[in-house]
Every structure is written in structure tokens, then in C-alpha cells.
Amino acid sequence: MSSRAAFLKHRADLVQDISNLQSSMMEQDTHQPSADRSNSTSPAMEQDTHQPSQDISNSKSHNVEQDTNLQSFQDFSDPRPETMEQNTHQPAQNIYNSIYDAMEHDTMMSESSTTSTAAQPRTRRRPGFLTKEERQRLSRTGRQVYLDRLFSADFPGKVTIDPDADTALSIAYSEYSSGETTTEDGRMVFWTDVCRSGDKSGIGIVYRKTLNGYVDLSYHIRRPVNTWVAEMAAIAQAIKIAEDEIVMRDARPSTVVIYSDCQKALLRYHDGELETVPCRCSLLRSGIVAAHNLKPLGIEVELRWVPGHWNTECQRHIKENLLAHSAAKKAARLTPPEGTENLVDVTNRRRKRAPVAMFKTGRDSEAQSEIENGLKNLSVG
């Protein structure tokens, strides 16, 4: 029997005991001798009959005397002894205490079961923020308050924009040429870029997973958005990918670095002006939550500016930057399937209903030849 059913049965038994006790008290009052009742009321009747009338000036003393007589009448007219009164009310008090104890026990049982359920480890618990299941249980007003607080908070990361393009490119090139992969206490580096084709926007994200292998991802934004909005979406998606990689890997980096060639997007993150970004819920929310999740783990998120691949003043080439541009161009050219998603990869037609579809597209021959030609042109220039 569950604790709730036991509590209800216990409460029904206690209510039955109270009703039986009241019935016994009524039977006792019914069988009381009439002589005792008449004797108990005769002093009061005699006092009321022979009480003399007094002047208004003696009303105060009359009231005092009447209160004294009334008190003596109450003491005399109570036929039940004090012990009987105590025995009468004590069981009821015990019954009420038992009900309260049972209710408290039921509450403690429910709290303990809730605590034991909540104490189970979560695989993807997001500290400080609501999970997907918790957000779905929110009302419309509660969800709006949650989103307002999320986007009005400061970005939990570092934004660096070097005023000198050569300095910024040298730092990015040194990080690229080091060939470092994600290791314990290392740096996890991402390169992002955006390409526009009419009203269509494509996002490219590249990062090094092994020593000689790269992962390039392509995304398509359905809605016509500004270039800087797409750049912010690329940065947010890179942070989300970093969180997923850290969860799946054993090695935990000390810093997640994301390079972007859009200063306006970086300044938006730096100034904390996220609540005015168009389509922020579908394009930025997952990345902002991921950045807040990495902070308690001791992982710093760093956004850095790098001159674009089109910059003719740059004499050095960064392969990851060209790969990101190629992935973005491929996403902008293709037409995605019908759906309601704002950010989706066009190459997967089986997950049309996914809120954010993320797939590894790889490098095809056309993209590889384009990258090689770009590297040759930069080396000749």
C-alpha cells in the first residue's frame, strides 16, 4: 500500500473515532438525572427572583456583585468534574495530532521521493539555466521572462579585437601553424565565416579534430538576415559544437577560441547587446546557454577577430579560414527542404523537423580545388 493510501485510511479511522466519541458524550448528557439538572439551576433562579432593585448610583457595585455571583454560579452549575473534561478533550486532541503527523509524514515521503528523483545524475544538466524539459513546462510568460534574462545578461566570455590587422593575423596564424589539437588544458580553436547569395545566407564552421583532419560544417539560414546577424549565429553555433565535443571527449580544454572576421558581431557580444538581435531565440539561444555552461567547468570562451580571407594586405594564408568560407558558400548556394527551421543544413533531408539540424558535410572535390587555387593566389601575391 502506498503512503498516500495509508494516510487516507488512517484519516478515515480517526474521523470515525471522533464521531463515536461525540455520540458517547451525547448519550451521557441524555441519561443525566433530572434532579441534578434542577438543583444546578435552582440557585440561579432564586438569585434572579430575590435580587433587589438598586439605584443608578450603585450600578457599579451591583455589576461587581453580579459578576461575583455569576462566577460562583458557573463554578457551582458545572456538574462534570475537571478530570472528566480533561478526559473528554484529550482524545480529540490526540486524534488531531495524529492527523497532522500523518499529513506531515505523507509530505515528508513525497519530498523524499522528489529529492531522490532529483538527486539522480543528469547527463546534460545546464547549471544556472533551465533544461529543455523545464522550459517546455513553463508558461508563455515564464518562458518570455527566462529568455529576457538570458539575453540581457553579460556574455560569459572574452572578446578581443586587435586594432592592427597584421597583429591579429599573426596571432591567428601562429595558432593555426602550431597544429595543436584539443588536449587537456589546451585550446580548442574554431573558424567561422558567412557567405551571402542574394537573400540566402550560409554559415561555415571549421575546427581541427585530429592532427591532420578537419571538420567543416555548413548551415543555411532560411530567413533573410543581415550579415552580422549570420556572423553572430555562426559564433553561437560554434560554442554549441564546442560544448558537445567537450561532453563527448575525455580531454577538457582550458579555452575555447572562436575566430571571426566580423567586428560588428564581436562588438555585439562584447557590449552585451543581444536582446535586440533579430531571430535571437532560434539563432543565438543554444550558443549563449552553452557559453554559460562552460564557465562553471573552468573553460574560458574567447572570441577573436581575424582579417577576412579577402583581405589583400594579408600575406599569410590560414587554411581553416578558407575552409570555413568554402563551407559557407556551399550552404548559401543550396536550397534547403521545406520546413519551419531557421538554421538547417541542406544536405540532410531526413531530419526536416529538427529545430537545429547539424551535420558534417565534408569537403568535396570542388571545394578542395577552390581552396588550393586560393592558396596559390595568396602565395603568388
Does a structural domain hold residue 303? yes
Does a structural domain hold residue 136? no
227, 372: one domain: yes
123-169 pLDDT, tens digit per residue, is: 333 444 566 666 666 676 776 777 777 888 889 999 999 988 888 88
CA distance 320 to 255: 18
Alpha helix locations (H) across the chain?
3-30, 34-50, 59-77, 82-118, 132-137, 140-152, 165-177, 227-248, 263-271, 280-283, 285-294, 319-333, 365-380
CA distance 354 to 350: 9
CA distance 225 to 238: 19
Q: CB neighbours of 338 closer than 8 A, spacing ≥ 6? A: 352
- Please give the pLDDT value at position 241: 92
291, 150: one domain: yes
Does a structural domain hold residue 1? yes
Confidence band, pLDDT 50/70/90 cuts, at residue 234: very high
Domain boundary among 74, 98, 117: 117
Exposed, middle or buried by CB within 10 Å (0-12, 13-18, 19+), for 86?
A: exposed
- Please give the pLDDT value at position 342: 58
| Nearest CA among 232, 225, 93 for reference residue 151 | 232
Exposed, middle or buried by CB within 10 Å (0-12, 13-18, 19+), for 204?
A: buried
21, 163: one domain: no
CB count within 10 Å of CB 61 equals 10
Calculate mean pLDDT across residues 28-35. Answer: 57
Look at residue 82 and tell me whether its pLDDT is greater than 50. Answer: no
Grid cell of 203 as nine digits: 554559415
CA distance 61 to 80: 31
CA distance 317 to 44: 115
206, 97: one domain: no
178, 91: one domain: no
- For the chain, how many structural domains are there in total? 2
Domain with 104, as residue range(s), is: 1-26+66-117
- Please give the pLDDT value at position 265: 94
Give the distance between the most distant pair of CA atoms in the chain: 133
CB count within 10 Å of CB 226 equals 15
Confidence band, pLDDT 50/70/90 cuts, at residue 30: low
CB count within 10 Å of CB 348 equals 15
CB count within 10 Å of CB 101 equals 11
Exposed, middle or buried by CB within 10 Å (0-12, 13-18, 19+), for 191?
A: buried
- Please give the pLDDT value at position 141: 74
Cα→Cα distances 65→91, 166, 230, 373, Å = 38, 108, 95, 119
Please, what is the angle between helix 140-152 and helix 285-294, to 10°? 60
Confidence band, pLDDT 50/70/90 cuts, at residue 302: very high
88-100 pLDDT, tens digit per residue, is: 444 444 433 443 3
371, 330: one domain: yes
CA distance 306 to 118: 45
Look at residue 261 and tell me whether its pLDDT is greater than 80. Answer: yes
First to last CA, the chain: 83
Cα→Cα distances 320→63, 131, 226, 305, Å = 104, 33, 24, 14
Please, what is the angle between helix 227-248 and helix 285-294, to 10°? 40
Does a structural domain hold residue 269? yes
Q: What is the mean pLDDT of the chain?
A: 67
Exposed, middle or buried by CB within 10 Å (0-12, 13-18, 19+), for 347?
A: middle
- Please give the pLDDT value at position 41: 45
Calculate mean pLDDT across residues 282-305. Answer: 91
Does a structural domain hold residue 40? no
Confidence band, pLDDT 50/70/90 cuts, at residue 247: confident
22, 161: one domain: no
111, 20: one domain: yes
Does a structural domain hold residue 39? no
78, 198: one domain: no
Bridge partners (DSSP) listed for residue 219: 203
CA distance 135 to 145: 11
244, 183: one domain: yes
Look at residue 38 and tell me whether its pLDDT is greater than 90. Answer: no
98, 175: one domain: no
SS3 160: strand
Least confident of 85-89, 309-313, 319-323: 85-89
| Nearest CA among 276, 188, 274, 262 for reference residue 230 | 262
Does a structural domain hold residue 137? no
- Please give the pLDDT value at position 161: 92
336, 256: one domain: yes
Does a structural domain hold residue 12? yes
CATH at residue 329: 3.30.420.10
